[in-house]
Amino acid sequence: MSSLRRALIGIGIAGFAAGVGIALLAANSNHLDSRGAAVALGLLLGWSFIGTGLYAWDRRPGNGTGAIMVGVGFAWFLGTLVTANSALVFTLGLTVNNLFFAVLLHLLLAFPSGRLETRNHKLLAGASYFVAVPLGLPFLLFADMTDDELCGCPDNLLMVQDSVTTAQILGAVQIIPAIALFAAVGRVAFRRWRAAEGIERTALSPMIWAGLVMLAVAGVQIAAGAVSQEGKGQILFFACVAAMAAVPYGFLVGLLRSRTAGLELENVRLDAELQDRIEELRASRARIVQASDTARRRLERDLHDGAQQRLVALALDLKLARAKLDKDPAAAAELLDASIEELAEATRELRELARGIHPALLTDRGLGPALEAIASRAPVPVEVAPVPEMRLPGPVESAAYFVVAEALTNVSKYANATHAEVTVTRSNGRVVVEVRDNGVGGANPAAGSGLSGLADRVAALDGLLDVQSPQGGGTIVRAEVPCE
């Protein structure tokens, strides 16, 4: 388990314990109305922020959003210390009662990157913390909390003088900038939402809108609280807590929606990729069929123009020789000599042709001897590095053989080289065949059908053919084919 994961689990346990502690405190509070609902909503709110925050933190450790959300949860629990019956704990709760709002504003300012991006945002966040805690202290110096009008709470240990009027004035000094900050942060969040597009907006919308609703409800609640502490305030308080609790779920919904949208986008991308691949395969299949047609046509031509013509001429000459055998034996002998030569030539042509269709040596002895044989027939000196002895699958051997054969044919036809090298290596489940020469370079694989036909043959085995042929820099033909 990573150290981050361990830390997050630790924070989770602390958050759970804090919730249980606060719930006990609130359940035993003798100055809290609607205790059951308050405990349930309070726990829902705190744990929602902590739980969602931890999830976000774990998923994207580099993004501060999760940590801030966890902070909101803990700040909430701290604020609910005011339910305590102990004057000391109660007073402590009073001082940090509004910290929660500051962290929440910080969260909205920093969402979604988790950072306060601009100076303005940093100022707003700083002001939020200042208004929430230090600016609340003067009020506490004059507020007698035991007063039933105010809340009928335990002793406020910070109070130096009981003055309702002073307390109300100082309370307003905190509330007015607080509402202004709500408005300012709401504006930042709204602008961010409006600037977002597509998936980003899909992801941001739920949390930003939950935040905006929360700001509105909380603003009204605070303003109303300043005017009256009656039953209406209680309803607004619960509405405010519910709106706040919606924020982390807004975040989760956003995450889910962006994921769904992301998946859809990914699907579209994969679909397009698949279409491209299908197009490519279709084209390559058509080329393979065409190449095979062309090869058969060429074979037919070669047979017809070569061996067949020679054999036809041979048949005529032999017939003529037989006719002349009695009357003109010398002419007959001459014809027979010519026929023998013609026959040898026809045999040689047939042999060449058969080798072009499929070399017997490759089938019988494998790639090494077959490549040695091509090299020995090449008009340019060709060095063949030792070929791995283990036999390769038939199609791989054939592809390797024809790559070398075609490359060496090109070397002797076009490269004007004095030397060529052939290497075949096998490693990591791949066979790499390379033919390099020291010729003039400038070969264009797209131009000649020989190399593009080979590229299709290699691609059919999920391999790649690469030709590097800078002007004047020699040519390297390299085929790489997977081979388990």
Partner 1 sequence: MKVLIVDDHEGFRASARRMLEAEGFEVVAEAGSGAEALQAADTWSPDLILLDVYLPDLEGFDVAERLTVNGSAPAIVLTSSHDASDFGPLVERSGARGFIPKSDLSGEALRRILDEQP
C-alpha pair distances (Å), 426 with each of 169, 386, 450, 477, 479: 86, 12, 25, 16, 12
Q: How far is the CB of 342 from partner 1 (least distance, A)?
A: 8
Segment interacting with partner 1 (CB under 8 A) among 66-74, 301-309, 368-376, 459-467: 301-309
3-state secondary structure of 61: coil
Place of tokens 């803990």: 74
Closest separation between CB of residue 304 and partner 1, Å? 6
Subset of residues 330 to 349 that bind partner 1, contact rule: CB under 8 A: 335, 342
Question: For residue 409, what are its two tokens?
Answer: 């044919």
**Contact characters 196-235, partner 1, x per CB under 8 A:** ----------------------------------------
The binding track of 18-37 with respect to partner 1, each residue x by CB under 8 A or -, is --------------------
- Check residue 310 for interaction with partner 1 (CB under 8 A): yes
Distance CA 162, CA 154 (A): 14
Residue nearer to partner 1 on the CB measure, 155 or 345? 345
131/447 Cα distance (integer angstroms) = 75
Q: Which stretch binds partner 1 (CB under 8 A): 2-10, 26-34, 300-308, 395-403?
A: 300-308
Would you say 190 and 93 are in contact if contact means Cβ atoms under 8 Å apart? no
Distance of alpha carbon 352 from alpha carbon 436, whole angstroms: 25
| Least gap, CB of 331 to partner 1 (angstroms) | 9
Of the pair 162, 337, the CB lying nearest partner 1 is at 337
Residues 71 and 50: their CA atoms lie apart, in Å, by 7
| Least distance to partner 1, CB of residue 297, Å | 13
Cβ proximity to partner 1, 226 vs 353, nearer residue:
353
Residue 235 has φ and ψ, to the nearest 5°, of -60, -45
Size of the site for partner 1 (CB under 8 A): 17
Quote the least distance from Cβ 315 to partner 1, whole Å: 4
What is the enclosing helix (H) or strand (E) of 477? strand 475-482
Q: Report H helices in 196-230.
A: 198-227
* Residue among 319, 348, 351, 391 that touches partner 1 (CB under 8 A): 319
> How many whole angstroms separate alpha carbon 300 and alpha carbon 333?
33
Q: Encoding tokens for residue 418?
A: 């004095």
Q: Which residues contact partner 1 by CB under 8 A?
A: 304-305, 308-313, 315-317, 319-320, 323-324, 335, 342
